[in-house]
Structure 1
């Protein structure tokens, strides 16, 4: 039995509506995913050790987050740096707060290490510029980037909109990426609000970075897995009792 054209028309319209509804639904899911990926900072919820690390910044200029691999050290550092750069502090925040735009550094052992760790966490995949803005710094806060010269995909600095988002911005922060491999001399001269050492630095580099924050009463944070044993940098953060306990094994 054949259906008449008149009988099949409602079925076609219903099918078309269903197809359009599905396309609309998928488009909304894609938009929500894009918003989520372009504002990782808004979704950041620290676990206990990360929260303790952040809270300690309310009273301490120098902080260390030392833990094993893949335990969220670099993610915690990136989230905090993004908050200071943008001025977007969540309601639960009890750590250090800057009420003006800031100048910050983020550093690793080598140029490649800085690119692949703090830069990736803050900005997004180094080799995919279309994905820059999917790191901890929200996409709408990235005003400009300045490329480095010696390492492919490495960024020299990022200009970040400060002021909580929206159309009215109070100013701009500046984030620069550094490495330890060129020595202490390359760390001289700048006045900063904070330095983030991702992986353990030599003591002279750490001291020079800390000096850069003296004029602003700024902060240093260190995030790393202990590979160098009881180094001079680690000893700065341990009490005499802790040193003795570690020494006894």
Structure 2
């Protein structure tokens, strides 16, 4: 049995001083003193305790989302996520757990990084006097802050790079990272570049904190995050993404007078209020919806079945990228959409083959609907799109009827026809299979332009680029079978009496 050594008086005093210093540091530690509200705590625990997939805190403005993200990033930088990884000097029996990590904090621009997210991580000399908490990384743990490179190095070896999206995707190339914090939604190309920053056998931990807002410069104002992360998560698809939310009312630090002021700015029921204050997961539309009558609860219906003895309705939009069509049937006044056929890049012949593969045979006629301008002959083939369809479908085994007007209805009339079918005074005459995701996204997100038509974009990088095509096909079908026209009242003719001129002699 080894002999117990009692420290001498000087050593005991030194140990006591160290213990008191450690206790004092713990009592003043900003991570320990920060008390997350319930919504923040759920996001923090999920991110720190499970390193699988991604976590996003998509919440209202001033809900404390950036605080929660900085709490996670600072915890990873100070205490690591390496488990039992120990290092020691050569020949020494003393080993210390290596808690160092390498991470990025990605903001939209440099001012946002400097003024908003950096002061939550560490004291960059821009901490506001009314901050709700001290920076989560104490000064005593900072070894170096390289302002020019925007790199923070901790004494434990951790490195945090503060990145700006406005610097472009090329600045996000380089070595792998162990964690990345997106503070607000980045451009999709920067997100994708960051997502491949994998180092060795270490899992990359991605977490984001943002409010879904209309992205500037995009026609529809639809966030890529909504389509690529939120919608798949809602459908329960195994994309490895976990999403958390919060409203401004969850943050106990926001004064009641401030809440009342903000409620006065954003009207009750407006998209801005639902996103900015309530934290609802909405696309962030920057305009008036083309199809406000759509209601997923009423218009989505599982288990719709094709009647083999009823005419099959095939509505097409001949846009090349993507080319879309819908397969449905009409039951009295009711329209049912069973399937959407979408080809990212294809021809009319490819679409005919897609139709044939999905429905190899049918016992009744096939009625074809679409854009009236597609009746014109192509300069390349010398045939119209509808002639190509008739030629391609000769072997199908049932009559193909082209039900296309000589000229297209006015776009507002086509939009109105779809809205009436969606819901007219409580009567729902349009049912859609939940598998028609592009059509559902259209009905949720397509916007009107300033002339009463439909807003479109030719920018392939804009998520809105995929919008309008399936709903256009739907509109061609419904407006042909159930046209709705705006009433214009005839103006009364006003007779003006003009006296007969008289001429002097």
Higher relative CO (CA 8 A, sep ≥ 6), structure 1 or 2?
A: 1
* Aligned equivalents of 2:199, 2:225: Cα separation in 1: 18
Equivalent residues in 2 for 1:1-12 (5 A)? none
Q: Which runs of 5+ in 2 are unaligned?
A: 1-23, 84-98, 128-132, 215-220, 236-295, 298-439, 445-505
TM-score, length basis structure 1: 0.66
Larger CA deviation: 187-196 vs 136-145? 136-145
Equivalent residues in 2 for 1:1-249 (5 A)? 39-57=29-47, 58-87=50-79, 97-99=81-83, 100-124=99-123, 126-127=125-126, 134-148=134-148, 156-162=150-156, 172-213=157-198, 215=200, 216-228=202-214, 230-240=222-232, 242=234
* Aligned equivalents of 2:82, 2:64: Cα separation in 1: 23
Residue 140 to residue 241, structure 1, CA distance change in 2 (3 Å): closer
Please report the RMSD computed on the Cα atoms of aligned residues, expressed in angstroms: 2.9
Report which of the two has the higher share of helix.
1
Task: Answer yes or no: is the 8 Å Cα contact 1:38–1:139 preserved in 2.
Answer: no
Task: Answer yes or no: is the 8 Å Cα contact 1:210–1:219 preserved in 2.
Answer: no
Q: Residue 175 of structure 2 aligns to a residue in which SS?
A: coil
Task: Answer yes or no: is the 8 Å Cα contact 2:58–2:209 preserved in 1.
Answer: yes
Task: Answer yes or no: is the 8 Å Cα contact 1:86–1:161 preserved in 2.
Answer: no
Shift of 1:67: 0.7
Residue deviations 1:190-249, cap 9 Å, x none? 211111111110111011111113642111111111113542223332244737789576
Q: Residue 238 of structure 1 aligns to a residue in which SS?
A: helix
Structure of higher CA gyration radius: 2
Residue deviations 1:121-158, cap 9 Å, x none? 11135447xxxx94111222112211127xxxxxx111
* Aligned equivalents of 2:193, 2:28: Cα separation in 1: 34
TM-score, length basis structure 2: 0.34
Q: Which runs of 5+ in 1 are unaligned?
A: 1-33, 89-96, 150-155, 163-171
How many corresponding residue pairs?
Answer: 189
Residue 59 to residue 223, structure 1, CA distance change in 2 (3 Å): same
* Aligned equivalents of 2:61, 2:27: Cα separation in 1: 24
* Aligned equivalents of 1:144, 1:63: Cα separation in 2: 30
Shift of 1:59: 4.8
Shift of 1:39: 3.1
Larger CA deviation: 111-120 vs 56-65? 56-65
